[in-house]
């Protein structure tokens, strides 16, 4: 049981931290270490710079050269940087997004580091998403949960409980609709929010492995199993579960529907909590539940986009790079950089402490104990960028008019043939 809840974790955390440092000292790391980071937004940038500062304090012989690139620009630059051998460490994402660089031999396999550094214990929840072709290709430093954020007060008023099965989900939703509200708010203007719905419906209908095969281009979009996913989706759409005109709202512009009680819930990442609280919803009014199961025989897979560090295959200072990765993943560092003052997300190390926050605790528990299917990275990270764009456009079209399903699936299948 990898629960973290405060007590007892401190001792473990200290032990892990010490072993991490001992490992680093044992190698007497020194020399220049070149880190290319994409943590360019203000808060992540401060976190990155803080980590370098603390790492250099503990390892005064290492001279870190830190280059922070714009997060979007980095997506096109990483290949150049890795190929030209200018970096020892780079930022990237877990899951299928690693595939191009793993296949091209640009990331270093650090399975040994995971074994020696005890990461297979402490980072077990994300080990799957860092593994590819029997190697482990990096360490994560932060992630956050997705799930359904709902209005507890509206559920209470209607005498509803958070659903755990598809039947409960549908009957709940019908009751909400009968009360004159929409079950879910969503803003699909920028498409990705619809990707979240597809992820969950597909992982619950067909399972995590099928979902991964589909996003990897190994399954036809016209497959009956994909159709089953869309049928479940259509059930919700046709009963009026989603707010009207959602294609005109961004995800933020869809928040007022939930705040004003016109919609009862929102399938979203944990970053939705902060604006909902600011808008005046108390923790008594706001609740969280895991996306309900559809097929009871399927283990739940969860979306938890994970950000990572990798060692370049042609790194010059591998020892210092390994020491830095251990430092990043250590419980102490994880607790610090993911707390409310910094990233405000979930630490990946099971021995870390989580801020005493209803939703962070719920997410941490869900991901470390109840995501047996596996952890997905979100549709636009699991599928190649071009495929994700076409597919999410299709999802939006389908949500606006479910009768176009055949046409949408044809377009997606053609795109699959062209892109993979």
Applying CB under 8 A, the residues found at the interface with other proteins are: 40-44, 68-71, 73, 252, 255-257, 259-260, 269, 271, 274-276, 278-280
- The smaller minimum CB distance to other proteins, of residues 13 and 392, is found at 392
CA distance 217 to 213: 6
**Long-range contacts of range 272-280, CB-CB < 8 Å, 24 or more positions apart?**
272/149, 273/149, 273/359, 274/344, 276/149, 279/255
Q: What stretches of 123-191 show up as alpha helix (H) in DSSP?
A: 124-130, 152-157, 166-178
Helix/strand/coil percentages in the chain, nearest 5: 50, 15, 30
Smallest gap from Cβ 145 to other proteins, in A, equals 14
255 versus 294: smaller Cβ distance to other proteins:
255
Whichever of 239 and 274 has its CB closer to other proteins, that residue is 274
- Cβ distance to other proteins smaller for residue 285 or 330: 285
CA 168 to chain centre: 26
Q: How far is the CB of 185 from other proteins (least distance, A)?
A: 11
Nearer to other proteins, 199 or 322 (CB): 199
How are beta strands 62-68 and 31-37 bridged, if at all? parallel
Q: Nearest approach, Cβ of 250 to other proteins (angstroms)?
A: 8
What distance in Å separates the CA atoms of residue 154 and residue 202, rounded to the nearest whole number? 28
Minimum CB–partner distance for residue 72 and other proteins (Å):
11
Residues facing 310 on adjacent strands: 90
Q: In terms of CB distance, is 32 or 256 closer to other proteins?
A: 256
The rounded distance, in Å, linking the Cα atoms of 226 and 300 is 17
Q: What residues contact 7, with CB distance under 8 A and at least 6 apart?
A: none
Question: Judged by CB, which is closer to other proteins: 214, or 255?
Answer: 255
Distance CA 84, CA 154 (A): 56
Would you say how long the chain is, in residues? 420
Q: How far is the CB of 284 from other proteins (least distance, A)?
A: 18
**What minimum distance in Å lies between the beta carbon of 42 and other proteins?**
5
Supply the minimum distance, in Å, between the C-beta of residue 297 and other proteins. 34
């Amino acid at each position: 049981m990898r629960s973290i809840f405060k007590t007892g974790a401190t001792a473990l955390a200290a032990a892990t931290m010490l072993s991490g440092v001992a490992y680093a000292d044992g190698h007497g790391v020194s020399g220049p270490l070149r880190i290319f980071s994409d943590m360019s937004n203000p808060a992540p940038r401060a976190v990155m710079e803080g980590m370098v500062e603390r790492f250099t304090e503990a390892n005064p012989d290492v001279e870190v050269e830190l280059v922070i690139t714009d997060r979007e620009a980095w997506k096109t630059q990483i290949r150049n940087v890795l190929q030209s051998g200018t970096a020892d460490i780079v930022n990237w994402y877990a899951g299928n997004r690693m595939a191009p660089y793993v296949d091209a031999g640009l990331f270093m396999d650090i399975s040994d580091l995971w074994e020696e550094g005890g990461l297979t214990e402490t980072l077990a929840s994300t080990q799957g998403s860092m593994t590819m072709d029997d190697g482990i290709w990096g360490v994560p430093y932060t992630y956050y949960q997705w799930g359904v954020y709902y209005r507890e007060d509206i559920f209470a008023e209607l005498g509803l409980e958070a659903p755990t099965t598809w039947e409960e989900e549908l009957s709940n939703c019908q009751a909400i609709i009968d009360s004159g509200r929409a079950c879910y708010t969503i803003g699909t203007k920028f498409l990705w929010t619809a990707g979240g719905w597809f992820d969950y419906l597909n992982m619950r209908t067909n399972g995590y492995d099928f979902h991964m095969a589909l996003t990897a281009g190994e399954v036809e979009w016209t497959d009956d199993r994909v159709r089953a996913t869309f049928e479940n989706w259509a059930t919700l759409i046709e009963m009026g579960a989603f707010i009207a005109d959602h294609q005109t709202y961004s995800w933020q512009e869809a928040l007022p529907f939930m705040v004003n009680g016109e919609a009862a819930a929102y399938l979203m990442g944990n970053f939705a909590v902060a604006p909902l609280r600011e808008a005046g919803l108390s923790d008594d009014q706001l609740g969280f539940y895991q996306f309900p199961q559809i097929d009871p025989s399927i283990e739940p897979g969860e979306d938890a986009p994970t950000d990572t560090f990798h060692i370049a295959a042609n790194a010059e200072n591998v020892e210092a790079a390994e020491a830095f990765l251990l430092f990043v993943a250590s419980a102490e560092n994880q607790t610090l950089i993911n707390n409310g003052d910094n990233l405000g997300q979930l630490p990946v190390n099971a021995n870390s402490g989580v801020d005493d926050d209803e939703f962070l605790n719920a997410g941490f528990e869900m991901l470390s104990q109840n995501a047996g299917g596996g952890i997905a990275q979100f549709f636009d990270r699991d599928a190649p960028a071009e495929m994700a764009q076409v597919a999410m456009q299709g999802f939006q079209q389908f949500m606006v008019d479910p009768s176009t399903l055949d046409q949408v699936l044809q377009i997606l299948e053609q795109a699959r043939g062209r892109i993979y």
